[in-house]
Every structure is written in C-alpha cells, then in structure tokens.
Chains A and B, each alone.
Chain A
C-alpha cells in the first residue's frame, strides 16, 4: 500500500503527470493574463480558449530538428536540459500538498526541507549559466554572465524573505510552517513585506520582465538559449514553467498559509493560491520595462535586501517579546 502511495505521489500527484499538466496550464494562464493586460487576445486557437497551446508548443518543439553547435561541449549541452528538468521535478515533490503521515514526515517532508527546496531552486540558475557557457555563442556567453550577475543580486534577499516566516513558525519544515500559519492566520500579515520581496525575487529567478535580462531579445538575441533548439529547448521551457509552479507553490506555503483540508480541498487551495502568485507575477511582467543588469544588483542590494533584513528583524523582535 505504501509503495502504491509513493508511486502515485511520484508519478501522478504532485509528480510527473500533474507537473506537466499544471505547469503548461500555468503557462497558458500567464500568457492569457499578460495578453489581456496588453489588450490582446492571447492564445485562442488550440483547444478551448487556447488551453492546449503550451502543450502544442511543447510537442512541436520535441519534433523539431535538434542542432548541436560544432564547438559546443556536447555532453554538457545535451545533459543540462534533462538535468534541469529533473532538478525542478524533484523540487516539486517537496511541496507539502499531501503526506503519508503529516506528523512523522517522510522522504517528501522532513526538517530542513525548506533549505533543500531553496537549494533545488538555485540550481536552475547554475544550469542556465553552464548551458550558456557550453554553447560557446557570443550572445549566450553574455547571457550566461548576466545570469550569474543577477543571481548575486536576488538570491540573498529571497533567502532572507523566505526564512523569516520559518523563523516565526520556529520550524525548518514546510508542512509545519504551513500548519503554524493555519492555526494563527493573523500572523500572515506580519510577513507582507517579505512576501513582496519574495515575489520580486521569484520574478528575477524566473527571468521574466523586468528581469528578462539574460535573454533580452533586442540586445542579445536568445541570450542563454540562443543555440538551443528542438527537444533541448522544449525541456528548458518546460523547466521554466515547472520552476514557476514550484516557486509560486513555495511562496503560497510560507506566505499564504499552505494547502490544508485534505486531498480535494487542499488541491483546490493549491490551485487558487499558486494562480494568485502567478497572477501577481504576470501583473509585474506587464507593468514594467526591462532594466539593466547593474540596475538589478543595485536595486536588489539597495531596496530588497534591506527590506528583507528589516522584516527578519521585526520577526525576531515579535517572537522575542510578544509570542
């Protein structure tokens, strides 16, 4: 029975099947919201309301010719997209959606899983850099250095912002943090500045406007992905979609109270809360213009990091004197 449960968990929900279906749905949702905010239609053609467009894009890319540049590091070039998808898919399993035993935990929920999740979300950045570097294109190289430069900007504020609710809850386990805030929903308001910081950092991590600098098409063509085509590009695109779901799931867990209520209600909560975070991300994407890479670093250290530190400080004081 337990083996069957594990298989269901890994392959169906929140495993591979759900991951694929939901991440493509989220891409559709993001594209549709972005398009409507720009007074456009967005995807309409494939499936009802264009729902199947991301899936169609994925399969189209899978069928396209796969070109590997002659001077590229062929092993890295081929392995990195697969490795990247595997990393974010593993991260998906750590989201506290349903558990075999909430109290004891298991392979998918343990003390310190928030750190592992954050680590697994940092890996894609390194993978993008390596992918850009191994493809040896000039535009990719510039894109790759931009990926790393940005990484030094947003990563610390993101960690600080995500850790302050954990500190408030006094746990390093996602499920316990969520349970703490479910018991005392008022305390969610305390973390509002941290939530804002985290949303902006996640936007930067996902490399979306105003932080789409590593693949700014008007400057460096495809940037990181210039040389990638066919299956590899399809994997990278799916990887970005899954990363969006995982990071919005993480924010929903620590800042919006997680997904209580058993399988059905919890599932609904998961959908609603992650879509809310993705809606915020789309809003940010439509309302801003791309900034320069030096502006990202100065913005992150000038505004985001201090705000996250203030938030952390406030949480420590609150925990010491009030709670």
Chain B
C-alpha cells in the first residue's frame, strides 16, 4: 500500500519550514518531492535599496548559524569592488571569527544529528560544550549569534592579550571534548548502527549533483574553497582538507569532527601569529560600475555572493547561492529507497539551513498547477480584501 507522508512544512524533525513529501510503501520511501518557499524574506530585493555598509548587517541576517560567512562573502566582494584591502590584523581577526563560527556550527550539527537519531545524551553534551565557543564569540564581538564584526575594509573590534590567552586556553577543553565525541560517535553501537550505510552518495553522484561542503567531502571529493581558491589569508595557513570515503551519514559525521580538529589548529595558528597594526582602513562609499563573484567556505560548504555595482553607493544586484541549495539535489537522490526512519538523518546530514536557501518563490495556482505572477499591488489588494472580510465577521478593528 502506497501513501504519502508529509514531512513539513511543520514537523518536529525540521527546525525551519520546508516541505518534503514522501511516498512510502510500508517503511520504505519510493519517491521524494521537495517544496521550498515557506521562508522567503525578499532579502536580495531589500539589498538593492540599501547602501553597501547597511547591506553587511542585512546579509548577516540571511542565516542565524553561519551569519559571519555571509557577511565575509559579501564584504570580500564589496572590498574588491571598492578596491580596498583590509589590513593584515583585520583579516586575521575576520578569519578567526570565521573558524570559531565553523566550530560552533559543527558542534551544533553534531547535537542535531544526535537528536535526529534519538541520541539525546549526545545532543545535550555537544551543546553544553558549544557554549565554550559561544562565550569566546561573545567576548570577541559582544554577540552570540550575529557578531557584526565585519565592516568594509576590516573588522570593527580588536582583541587584547588577555582575550588571546583565554581563547588559547579554551582550545584545550574543546580539543579534549572533540576527541571524546570522535570516540563516542565512532563506537557507540546503536548510534553507528543508525548512521553507517545510510544515505549513500557515491563520488560520481556527488560530483554530478554538485554537492558541496562536508556532504561532498564525505563522498571523497576533496573540495574546499579555502584550499582550492584561497581567499584572504588562507593561502598561508597550513591545514588539511578532511575527507571520508564511506559516503554515508557516518562519513559526514566523521568529516565534521575531523574538521573541528583542523579548525582548532587554524585558530591556534591565527592567534600565535597575530600581527600588529590597525584592524580596519577607511573605505569609500561608492563603488565603480562592475561586478564581482565572491566565494567562501561556510561551515556547510561553498557560499557564493554575486554583486553588481552601478556607480552608486547601493548594489544594483545581489545574488546569494547558499550551500544548502547546492545540496538539495543530492539529498533527494539519497532519500529514495531509504527507510522512513532515515529521513531526518539524511536530511539533517547536509546541515540544512532553509532560510539561507530561500532566495526566490514561484507562485503556483492550486487548481491548474500553472505558475502565476502576482504583482505587489495585487497582494496589497488581496490583503485589504481579506482584512475587510475578517473584521466584519469577527467585529473587531483590524490593523491592516
């Protein structure tokens, strides 16, 4: 007997709204379909009405986890357009925060993976230890989520010697805990039994479906923007690109835990070699006409910003390609012929950030199934009409 299970738009396995429609036969998934657009906020359009400086804080709000990756990617692009180069100390601090963010994002993912697999103890422990990184980030920037440390031509805050020592001390705790998670994640039989062999994605498929980040690296594709196309100071930092060849969810877990170790090394290198000097230079407000594509390696994979300048202080076009969007195709392919029990794990294994990937919506007419175009004025008229009806029915004042 075949029937459809709606995973989403509201479902306990999903932290953000997205709709996965699974056609299942017993416990086995026969077909998977994906619907996006529940979290569209029109950020790209908004960006066209704000100055470059204001847009840093807008792009920061694309995502709540990799907020720094989006601003870094945007700022790198705008700096290229404005023809300014951030001073070395500023760059060190910028990528220090980027690596700290990767650590917090990967620890968060480990917890989420534990929770999706029903291993709540793992979830509680990883999130407790994640607080160490969150505290460091708060001490550096004053914020836990939106650090707001990037600015055009550098960073906004400097760190002092005391903080530098404190971060280096905290790395010891984090290293010890990460080793423990590696042991636990690779040895606890019920956990490994759930992850091993689930959601297989071969190397060829990973390349064909354009998977990025840890998802691709777990399939043996050693692709990392930090090494392949070094931006900022990554060319001079020694680190390894972590891969796994098991091609399953267990491999993705292992890759992320290994990457944590690499990030600790990078953080230590950055702090030990922190140069003196200013953290930012003054940047002009207007950019010459031109366009730029900026890439960076977010915790979830390759993040791309395309910025087009028209000579004013506002971008003519900003286009964001978040890593989650690149991984959707690979996810759908992997869901087919899996078990219902594996849906949350396979989907969580790409570390989905729905709001990152919601860049456009297509309106489809419910009755005919054909795409339609709705103008802003239509929407306003509809809202007013609806508000009128509602207020009459309920006999209350409606704010619209």
Contact = CB atoms under 8 A, between A and B. Distances in A.
Interface of A: 37-40, 138-139, 142, 145-146, 209-210, 212-213, 216-221, 286-295
Interface in B68-123: 114-122
Contact of B5 (A138, A145, A146, A294): A138
Contacts, number: 83
B11 to A, nearest CB: 7
A218 B115 CA distance: 8
Given A218-B12, A218-B116, A292 B341 contact: yes
A301 to B, nearest CB: 16
A216 B194 CA distance: 13
B27 to A, nearest CB: 7
Contact of B121 (A216, A219, A220, A286): A286
A290 B124 contact: no
Q: Is the interface of A mostly helix, strand, loop or mixed?
A: helix
Interface residues of B toward A: which range? Answer: 20 to 34
B121 A139 contact: no
Interface in B218-235: none
Nearest to A138: B5
Interface string B17-59: 0000000101100000000000000000000000000000000
Contacts of B125: 38-39
A295 B4 CA distance: 24
A294 B190 contact: no
Interface string B104-148: 000000000011111111101100100000000000000000000
A138 B3 contact: yes
Contacts of A217: 12-13
Contacts of A218: 12-13, 115-116, 118, 344
B121 A38 contact: yes
A289 B117 contact: yes
Contact of B12 (A40, A221, A287): A221
Nearest to B116: A218
Contacts of B188: 287-289
**3 interchain residue pairs of minimum CB distance:** A290-B118, A289-B119, A38-B124
Nearest to A291: B190
Given A138-B5, A220-B340, A288-B188, A37 B194 contact: no
Contacts of B3: 138
B191 interface: yes
B349 interface: no
B244 interface: no
A293 B341 contact: yes
B291 to A, nearest CB: 43
**Residue among A145, A210, A289 with most chain B CB within 10 A:** A289
Given A142-B340, A290-B118, 17 more contacts: A38-B120, A38-B124, A39-B125, A40-B124, A138-B4, A142-B5, A142-B24, A142-B27, A210-B118, A213-B341, A219-B340, A287-B188, A288-B119, A289-B119, A289-B188, A292-B339, A294-B27
B216 interface: no
B122 A289 contact: yes
A287 B121 contact: yes
Contacts of A40: 124
Contacts of A39: 124-125, 128
A289 B191 contact: yes
A219 B191 contact: no
Nearest to A139: B5
A292 B121 contact: no
B249 interface: no
A219 B124 contact: no
Contacts of B6: 138
Contacts of A221: 11-12
